[in-house]
Structure 1
Amino acid sequence: MPDRPIRLFGDPVLSSVSEPVGAIDDGVRALVADLLDSVKLPGRAGVAACQIGVGLRAFSYNVDGEVGYLLNPRIVDVDGDLEEIDEGCLSVPGLWFPTPRHPFARAAGIDLDGNEVAVEGTGVLAQALQHETDHLDGIVYLKRLAPERRREAMRKVRESDWF
């Protein structure tokens, strides 16, 4: 399946809390296939379902050659003090800002067979797990920025050619 267009900041689906995945049917399987196809494109560490216009709790990730997905993900553990890490977002193209993230994260959810699974990591994987779970809670990373930096980010969003 082809990758799906990415929704941009300002689209209401990005500020809405995603609904849990219920029955795992052909629609959910197709969504996972679309998420995996979408995240395999160069420069992508994660894609949340809402970023392709679907309000369900699902995301895919692609970090250091490890490609996968989680349905109904939730962050179950973080470790380490928050650190500001340069972060960008496919829904906020071309803009990067230091964003507070924990250096370790573990997310749990289910797979297409309904089995409980977990993904954990440090560095970019930890950042991606936190970032994508935020998306499913209706949070775009700009909301995580310190107030002064957020004002600067919003100014740059307004000045962008895509907004």
Structure 2
Amino acid sequence: MILPIVAYGDPVLRKVAEDLPQDYPKLDELISNMWETMYNAHGVGLAAPQIGLPIRLFLVDTSPFADDEELSQEEQDRLKDFKKVFINAKIEEQNGQEWNFNEGCLSIPDIREDVKRKPEITISYLDENFNSHTETFDGLLARVIQHEYDHIEGILFTDKLSSLKKRLLKSRLDKISKGKIEVEYKMRFPSIKKRR
């Protein structure tokens, strides 16, 4: 089932999400719905807060990046086959010289900006079967994971921009929260009152 994606301005996007218990009701169904929602919106990642749930769950499928000819063949191959669910994730370490990359977000449609992030992370997480993992990722994989991880920490990519950039984007962000934007996927806007 395709779920509405929560737009910029909704308080759920600002909450530090809570850990998921192993007996979380209908988790398989939720994960399946999140994949369907993400693919419908042509995303490469989706976090539970983006569908209104303040829980530490996000998923990533970087296969759309695998066609980028600017990347090495090795990186393209890694991105092509990368599809993971992250539950109760915690970034343990971030390393390297920060680098800029143009990012966007399904909760903030039509805004893309360069964001600095570390090139390498070590993250511990549970998969959808609640098996424990600690892995190190680098390059675009690390970047996509950091972007989704930020969502479960109540952080948006626009928070990482300069004060000037934030001021320049303010009116566009306000329009998004009021639903004054055309999107090709289902969204829920915080400033639009629910009809009875």
TM-score normalised by structure 2 residue count: 0.74
Letter paired with 2:125: G
Matched residue SS, 1:133: helix
Q: Going by fraction, where is strand more abundant, 1 or 2?
A: 1
| 8 Å contact kept, 2:5–2:51 | yes
- Unmatched 5+ stretches in structure 2: 64-79, 182-188, 190-196
| 8 Å contact kept, 2:121–2:137 | yes
| 8 Å contact kept, 1:58–1:70 | yes
Letter paired with 1:49: A
Among 104, 113, 121, which residue is 1:105 paired with? Answer: 121
Question: What is the CA–CA distance in structure 1 between the aligned matches of 2:169 and 2:100, rounded to whole Å?
Answer: 15
Q: How big is the shift at 1:84?
A: 2.0
Q: Which moved more, 1:116-125 or 1:48-57?
A: 116-125
Higher relative contact order (CA 8 A, sep 6+): 2
**Does 1:128 pair with 2:144?**
yes
CA deviation map 1:60-100 (0-9, x unaligned): 00113322111001112222111221111100000001111
Question: What is the CA–CA distance in structure 1 between the aligned matches of 2:43 and 2:166, rounded to whole Å?
Answer: 23
Q: Compare CA radii of gyration and give the structure with the larger one.
A: 2
Matched residue SS, 1:84: strand
Which residue of structure 2 aligns with residue 48 of structure 1?
47
Q: How big is the shift at 1:58?
A: 0.2
Question: What is the CA–CA distance in structure 2 between the aligned matches of 1:19 and 1:123, rounded to whole Å?
Answer: 28
Q: Which moved more, 1:37-46 or 1:66-75?
A: 37-46
Q: Which runs of 4+ in 1 moved over 4 A?
A: none
Following superposition of structure 1 onto structure 2, how do residues 68-147 of structure 1 map, counting pairs within 5 Å? 68-147=84-163
**Does 1:8 pair with 2:7?**
yes
TM-score normalised by structure 1 residue count: 0.88
Matched residue SS, 2:92: strand
CA deviation map 1:97-138 (0-9, x unaligned): 111111222322112332112454333221111111111011
Give RMSD over aligned pairs.
1.9
| Amino-acid identity (%) | 27
Q: Which moved more, 1:70-79 or 1:90-99?
A: 70-79
